[in-house]
Structure 1
Amino acid sequence: MTFHVLADLAASITDLKKDPMGTIREAHGETVVILNRNEPAFYAVPPARYEAMMDLIDDIQLAELVRQRLGGPTVRVDIDELIADAERDSKLQP
């Protein structure tokens, strides 16, 4: 059976058990696939890469929300008009 390995570096689960931090340190900030009997068991992802992945997921979810709302009504506005209205309203407030 074949498996997709989505990392350039691999380590066995045995190596990870023997020296977890050493295994990660040897990766020099790259993602490591941890193999169990030559099958991917999980990926060890550095914090910076994980944060970037989470940001990307958030962006994708926001983009989907925008796409869903595109069919709704739109209103044309002029930013200068909005600023003028806001300034006028702030002068009227006591």
Structure 2
Amino acid sequence: MPMIDYILTEKSAHLSDLRNNLKKITGKGEAVAILSRNKPVFYAVPLEVFENMLEQIDDMQLGKVIKKRRRQPSVKVSIDDL
């Protein structure tokens, strides 16, 4: 059974094209699948998209910490004790 490689972007370019035409391929601010031997090897995404992805991952991880801590018993503290 042949392997199917899914490309998760609307645009793709071959690795050899990327070397020669980096600005042309990535200059429009869109994600591009980079192919080698017609298989995706990595995705080139604009800096803003990458930073946004990292923020979302961080938010999800913080959300997990918050949920975990909410299940722990709370301790009442007087403002004067602080």
TM-score, L = length of structure 2: 0.83
Aligned residues: 79
CA distance in structure 2 between the aligned counterparts of 1:3 and 1:67, rounded to whole angstroms: 36
| AA aligned opposite 1:39 | K
SS in 1 for 2:72: coil
Displacement of 1:21 in angstroms is: 1.4
Give unpaired runs (5+ residues) of structure 1.
Answer: 86-94
Residue 10 in 1 paired to residue 12 in 2?
yes
Larger helix share, 1 or 2: 1
Structure of higher CA gyration radius? 1
C-alpha separation in 1, matches of 2:75 and 2:7: 48
Segments of structure 2 that go 5 or more residues without pairing to the other structure are none
Identity %: 39
Per the normalisation by structure 1, the TM-score is: 0.73
CA root-mean-square deviation: 2.0
Measure how far apart 1:74 and its partner are: 2.9
Return structure 1 stretches of 4+ with deviation > 6 angstroms.
Answer: none
